[in-house]
Structure 1
Amino acid sequence: MRQRLMVIHGRSSLTLFLVRSSLSFFLSLLFYSLIFIDSFLKGLFHRGIMMSGSALASWALVNDANDVALQVAQAADCVHLVGDRSDSETILNCMRDAPLERIEQAAAKVGRPATFRRFRTTFGPSIDGVVIRGQHLSSPSSSSSGPRKRSEDGRPTYDCLFGVSGFESTFQLSELASEQGLDGVERDLLLRAFVADTYRYHQTEIFLTLVNEYTDWERTTQHPVSIRESTVEALSDGQFVAPAILLGDTLTSPDRNSYFYVIDPAVTQVIVFFL
């Protein structure tokens, strides 16, 4: 990366990283990665702009990477039981020697719609304890205290601008739902799937709380369009807004500038907050 930057810019460091959506969680991972702290990559960049994404989002990390890897190995016919268990070294050697086409076919089987989780990532980065340390990065659903502030553990912070643009989860609806709205049954299916993919415990209580908090009880009848908007708001808050705010809390430092923005698509207005 340093060599490439030297060729393009004539210098070996970036002043600014600008990323959006899924790439924003990648930049978040760089903030937490020990490779960028303790190695020759230290000082590679100094500022970051993260739009609609965070490594603290439930969809950003794979929490069961070992299970997914085992499923891929089984689909690639690389798991041969010895007694009641399989030797991990044998599995790894088989996966290394397997043709790329077989691995791709196995991965496609694991990631097909029958096993695909709508609001989670099947393939992606995970907390490996080497590049990404678990004590510095954990999702809100798996930690009661949340990630520690970087200023508290002595690790460097960065100037950052981060935020959301409202109704981030619209893309998760079907074309028909986007145009005509949702009924109560469709809303419940979406929210139940989100809760099941995001939380391990108290799923029923969380689902009922979401329905209660994101229902306009002042309306005597719930129109499909209003149900659609409240559902998108709930999904957007859970997958984008809350993780972005939590990320900002971990990155704030007295000696660094942090800004949080909100874009309201209804009025095409940007509101920026200084943290």
Structure 2
Amino acid sequence: MVLIGVFSLLFALQHINALPVIDAPWGVVEGITNVTEDWTPYHAFLGIPFAVPPTGSRRFKQPQPHPGFDHTFKAYKYGPACLQALNLIGRSSVTGSEDCLTLNVFTPATITDTSNIPVIVWIHGGGFIIGDSFTYNPSSIVANGQVIVVTIQYRLGPLGFLSTKDHVSAGNYGLWDQHLALQWVKKNIASFGGNINSITLMGESAGSASVAFQALYSGSKGLFQRTIMQSGSASSSWAYTRNPLIYARQLAHKVNCSSQSDSASMIACLRTVSAKKLTAASWPMGNEPVTALAEFYFVPTIDGVFVKDDPLKLVNSQTYLKQVGLQNLDCMVSVVSNEGGLLKSLAKAADNLFHSSLSSSVQNNRFYRNTFIPKILQLYFGASSSDMSQAVGKVYDPSQSHTVNLQAVMNNLGDAGMVAPATLFARAHAKLSSSLKTGKKTYMYVFDHIPSFVIGHGKGMDHGEDLMYTFGLSKAYLDAMAKASPNTITDPDQSEKKLAHTLMGLLTDFSRHGDPNNAVQYGLQQSWPQFSEPGEHYLLLNTTMSVGSKPYKDRVTLWTQTLPRLLQAAQNQHHTTKNPHPNIVG
């Protein structure tokens, strides 16, 4: 064993001595060689600009492709994060740069430009307002799975998503950034040893919603062949806004640009404001704590081009899905067992911002039913009614006691934000590919596991915690978590590491074959069926593993069948009555 370790070290050191150089259509790129925590070498090409800096007159416009350089680009370090205000998570500071549109390519050290191996493009989450590419080190996935991973950055908050709801500033610039990065990958990744016909688009939370938005855009045809969506979809309650102009004007007022009456003058004024000042003023908007809990303001919007219509309508339209070619993709979606666990940190941040008591208020029955539920319904459907609110209360809080169980409130938030939208997307994809007999596959898994190395962890896995396993329980990632929350993280045991290895395996197997079964066959001891009607089977991912049917059936039925039916009934009554219906809010 000692000799094997010595040989591994010598092999790694031999690779580190030579800097990898790639001659791509974009230009010549020189990277670095590093080693994983188990001394497996890999190449990294960091901070490659794929777009011209979106600064000055280019602010609030679609990105333009970077032309490359006529000299060797030294891709030795990450580019800066895109500008973001961190007071969402309790810290009132702005970090990052407006010039941030870069990507990073990670490859196994053994491949050449003729290797032709699968590619995964990773889109980070963060509610479209925070996040970066360099938090995620995919070296374990790259080295163990023998795939290439590309991590990308895109504009966030108002710089990425401010919209005047007209041609002046249509919004969705962050989505266009992602799209341009995908075009860069398609044109250049073969030079790094990647297979341009085996590209998987993958993301978590807002990254997952971004994957859905890219898949629902007709211009994406051919840019990727598979999608992996972890905890989010285009129809998630927080993933798009119906009121972009309201927030654009509120922001303009905050930075003294509100005297401009028309969109063009307002945007011209906003271009003169420093990017940091704009970002700092963008959170929070308004003074309602419950709004800060459930809505992120500067997020994707319906522009008629990238986002053709209400995402809920698009996902439910088989005609539209066929038009954009969703049936030509393999699709895997996932959720964690306590998606709504995010509520605890969001409520705490809102309380800090507004000096409120939202953390406890959400458990007050009157507040929950009269304020919280209508707000979530308004975000998800664009309308609410008393019948809809009663239906939600009946599922999550049937006892109607004075105090609502916190887990019930978390489930309510998590289902509207993640569980129902993910299931709806998987259902739509499975139905389409089945009816057209394309042979493309749909899989779903629910990650239901309590991380044993997180001290004092509650029930289930909270939103975002699956990222620890996705990236192999890397020491750097866990150290960062421990630094953010001291005395909460211990060393993972072998069962935890095995679970992370299983997850990385099923992700890379799916990216390679469109089928994740090989990675779970020994632990599962049966096949993992595709997600399709009528069984809608999914993998329950934990240290034991099993196959289930119809995830969170009653709760998902509420959001996908009961509430749409009640909304339609309320709208029909509204349209056939002379006076506006008193119980519907549109």
Tell me which interval the TM-score lies in, with the shorter structure as reference length: 0.7 to 0.9
Is 1:138 aligned with 2:311?
Answer: yes
- Tell me how large the CA RMSD over aligned residues is: 3.7
1:4/1:68 CA distance change after superposition, 3 Å: farther
Q: Is the 8 A contact 2:339 2:418 kept in 1?
A: yes
Q: Does 1:205 align with 2:384?
A: no
Alignment counterpart, residue 415 of structure 2, candidates 234, 237, 248: 237
Name the counterpart of 1:260.
444
Q: Which runs of 5+ in 2 are unaligned?
A: 1-183, 349-356, 450-459, 461-539, 551-586
Matched residue, 1:191: 373
Indicate whether 1:96 and 2:271 are aligned: yes
- 1:16-55 mapped onto 2 (5 Å cutoff): 16-37=200-221, 43-55=222-234
C-alpha separation in 1, matches of 2:274 and 2:397: 52
Partner of 1:120: 295
- In 1: Cα distance, 2:292 partner to 2:385 partner: 16
* Secondary structure at the counterpart of residue 118 of structure 1: helix
The aligned amino acid for 2:311 is S
Task: State the shift of 1:124 in Å.
Answer: 1.2
Aligned residues: 255
Match of 1:15 among 191, 199, 205: 199
Q: Say whether the 8 Å CA contact 1:263–1:271 is kept in structure 2.
A: no
Distance in 1 (alpha carbons) for counterparts of 2:290 and 2:446: 35
**Percentage of identical aligned residues:** 20
CA distance in 2, matches of 1:113, 1:154: 38
Larger Rg: 2
Normalising to structure 1: TM-score of the pair?
Answer: 0.75
CA distance in 2, matches of 1:68, 1:271: 44
CA distance in 2, matches of 1:21, 1:109: 20
Aligned partners of 1:62 and 1:145: how far apart in 2?
A: 16
Q: Cα–Cα, structure 1 residues 6 and 74, in superposed 2: closer, same or farther, change >3 Å?
A: farther
- Map Cα deviations across residues 82-129 of structure 1 (whole Å, 9 max, x no partner): xxxx22222222222333244234324637766944212211111211
SS in 2 for 1:245: helix
Match of 1:147 among 294, 317, 324: 317
1:192-222 CA-partner distances (Å, limit 9, x unpaired): 44235444444332222111122355xxx96
Aligned 8 A contact 1:119 1:198 in 2: no
- When residues 271 and 24 of structure 1 are mapped into structure 2, their CA distance, relative to the original with a 3 A threshold, is farther
- 1:164 to partner: Cα distance: 1.9
| SS of residue paired to 1:205 | helix
Highest RCO, 1 vs 2 (Cα 8 Å, sep ≥ 6): 1
CA contact under 8 A between 2:226 and 2:330: conserved in structure 1? yes
Would the alpha carbon gap of residues 29 and 15 (structure 1) be closer, same or farther in structure 2, given more than 3 Å must change?
same
Q: Given the superposition, is the C-alpha separation of residues 130 and 163 from structure 1 closer, same or farther in structure 2, using an over 3 Å criterion?
A: same
Code of the residue aligned with 2:212 in structure 1: it is S
Query: Structure 1 residue 170: deviation in Å?
Result: 1.4
5+ residue gaps in structure 1? 38-42
Is residue 2:429 matched to residue 1:251? yes
1:77 and 2:278 aligned: no
CA offset digits 1:47-89 (Å, max 9, x no partner): 11112111111111122112212222222222335xxxx2222
User: Which 10-residue stretch deviates more, 248-257 or 8-17?
Assistant: 8-17
Displacement, 1:169?
0.5
Structure 2 distance, partners of 1:210, 1:201, is: 14
SS at match of 2:259: coil
Secondary structure, in 3 states, of the residue corresponding to 2:294? coil
Say whether 1:160 aligns with 2:352: no
Question: What is the CA–CA distance in structure 2 between the aligned matches of 1:183 and 1:112, rounded to whole Å?
Answer: 20
- How far has the Cα of 1:258 moved from its partner? 1.1
Asked whether the 8 Å contact 2:252–2:270 carries over to 1, the reply is yes
C-alpha spacing 1:233/1:249, structure 2 compared with 1 (3 Å) = same
CA distance in 1, matches of 2:190, 2:387: 54
